[in-house]
Structure 1
């Protein structure tokens, strides 16, 4: 009942913002996205469920408040759930500085920071799902210096998450996770393209909320929303984590290649520390000649040049290793081939074929999976 009341209150607030978007010269617009998937196992995939999956169904509003501030509120209604995405304010400072307040993505990972409307493959690589911390509540500042820039953030929990109540002689208190992140980049123009290099570091202290579980799906979700996870490790005594990331990207006309490496160190109370790492390399070519967009350390999408749309082929190899000494979560390697048809800037159809190889003592299968997606955003 409490969850229902909370969701109703959030939805009412969202609708209130939308309906009053023209008051006091605010320029807010309704925004949203719909990502609909069809999953099917091709071989060695008995534990997966074939069928359809509503991956994302988001509705929100965003726009300018005045000449210095803008805001965004966005909720996801996929699969009968309600979760908060971006809930933030953003203000301009000087020529190229911006202050962020609210919930938004922690600055780590080129693939993670690319919008789900613009990612080349149906799902992000496993390092983006396991290591990069995604959305949290906090305060951030970013500054641009021509072709270079940085963003730093102090963050806590995500909306909807609650801390664990700890008891001491003074009664109850609530200790929440607290972290700090820094990402820097340089995007050098090369002809009509760009060469991007970026690096990030994120430290998070769990503040007595000890316990960490790392796991991921095989870069695809089945009709149950992705219940099957083939790599999984629990660290019940985790005290803090330190994460490092390295990004490389090259875009030249219709061709692009991207690589990322991430490493996570975990400090444990009364147990051995752990270290997990992974990487991905992906490349794409737009058959119709369009170029992938890039701006200020972020990758954009493909904009069709004519009414017949744009066609893209892509391939990715990724590795996520959750094995380290006594921690045996498994190692997952995937090869993904993709075909994308961009009908317009906002309508896209995608097809992925994914070969999965798992290095885990009790698992001897190599699933071959297929996923189709129809997506629209406004």
Structure 2
């Protein structure tokens, strides 16, 4: 077994004992001048089981992310993150707060797609993001970002990303923007309305749009355009809305991707999802930085949540037959003290690509430790 896996298992096994005597996990240090230094982690262990022979059942680590960070409220924040499961750098940046907003330089998430671009991987309602989010989301890139929250009920984000990321997995440049309006934002009552867009120019002049069936421990995509050549630019856009009412959360997004080509016809795809969740133990999700986080359990035995999502994506356009897919996902989440979380998803998927239909049932489980 790899050393990093043994380390993660040790953390999972020791955490209830090592951290049981304090209200705040001792992974951070506070100093008199207001500076905070610490370690954050996300460890997720998944199992995926499929009803069809097209997929192989799998059980393994989904994420083993460790972040070293430093911050002083209202002055600066810095982070260095690494996922030992995918062997990839994540969220490596330096930020500064000024009188005209917050600036950040480094590698971080691109903003189109609320599930992917704004929500922490540890706080997702379902194990994986929707079909539409997977198909459209660009990923992390190296760039410079500006955020402004000086207007009441509004938040603005502008970013420019350069030609590479720290994992050398992307090549091109992207300009992106996001705006969020909160007509209501009072404790456990939130209305969230957002609009985002980006324009990417890839050096290799290619694009590929695809999505996994809302689990990650498989390389198979039921919808996939294959490689599109002669792509001059890729434009993405998203509309997002959410309503938090005590223990209830309703959320929806509509996402589009346009690939402008100088060979053949332009290509367009779109998708959406609608989801709802209910914390039957009465807690409410946290809303911070224009995204929703996990609830804090009010009881020693934790908090229980039920969730339902419908998502759809259409990757067919002209001669490009990437396929169509729609999924129903039923989820149950058990939030435990000290950063532990157990999740179960039942996914019923329907797909049609070039006349071939694959309609699996999927059972997925996750054990998570986040601190």
TM range (shorter): 0.7 to 0.9
- Tell me the C-alpha RMSD between the 2 structures: 2.1
**Corresponding position of 1:259:** 252
For the residues of structure 2 that align with 1:338 and 1:162, how far apart are their CA atoms? 32
TM-score by length of 2: 0.86
- For structure 1, list consecutive stretches of 5 or more residues without a partner in the other structure: 1-17, 164-175
Equivalent pairs counted in the alignment come to 338
Alignment-derived partner of residue 160 in structure 1:
167
**Which of 202, 218, 222 does residue 226 from structure 1 map onto?**
218
Displacement of 1:248 in angstroms is: 0.6
**Aligned runs of 1:116-127 on 2, under 5 Å?**
116-127=121-132
Give the equivalent residue in structure 1 for 2:6: none
1:108 equivalent to 2:106? Answer no
Could you tell me how far apart the structure 2 residues matched to 1:65 and 1:308 are?
34
Q: Secondary structure at the match of 1:332?
A: strand
Equivalent in the alignment of 1:36 = 45
Tell whether the 8 Å contact from 1:304 to 1:345 is kept in structure 2 after alignment: no
Q: Distance in 2 between matches of 1:356 and 1:235?
A: 26
Structure 1 consecutive aligned stretches of length 4 or more whose deviation exceeds 6 Å: none
In structure 2, the residue matched to 1:278 is 271
2:206 counterpart of 1:211:
yes
Helix, strand or coil for the counterpart of 1:119?
A: coil
Report the equivalent of 1:187: 182
Report the secondary structure of 1:220's partner residue: coil
* Cα shift readout 1:278-308 (whole Å, capped 9, x = no counterpart): 0000000001001111124211111111112
Q: Counterparts of 2:130 and 2:202 in 1: how far apart (Å)?
A: 25
> 2:57 maps to what in 1?
50
Aligned to 1:74: 81
Deviations 1:260-289 (A, max 9, x none): 001111111221001100000000000100
Q: Provide TM-score, normalisation by structure 1.
A: 0.85
Query: In the TM superposition, what is the alpha-carbon distance from 1:352 to its structure 2 partner?
Result: 0.1
Deviates more, 1:127-136 or 1:68-77: 127-136
Structure 2 Cα separation of the partners of residues 28 and 261 of structure 1: 38
- Structure 1 residue aligned with 2:243, among 238, 247, 250? 250
Q: What's the offset of the Cα at 1:67?
A: 6.2
Partner of 1:335: 328
Q: Is the 8 A contact 2:207 2:259 kept in 1?
A: no
1:61 aligns with 2:68: yes
**SS at the partner of 1:364?**
strand
Question: For the Cα contact (< 8 Å) 1:60–1:74, is it kept in 2?
Answer: yes
What 5-or-longer segments of structure 2 have no aligned partner?
Answer: 1-26
Task: Choose from 143, 146, 156 the match for 2:148.
Answer: 143
1:340 Cα deviation from its structure 2 partner: 0.4
2:344 to 341, 347, 351: 351
Q: 1:365 to 1:376 in 2, by over 3 A?
A: same
Conservation of the 8 A alpha-carbon contact between 2:284 and 2:295: yes
In 2: Cα distance, 1:147 partner to 1:322 partner: 36
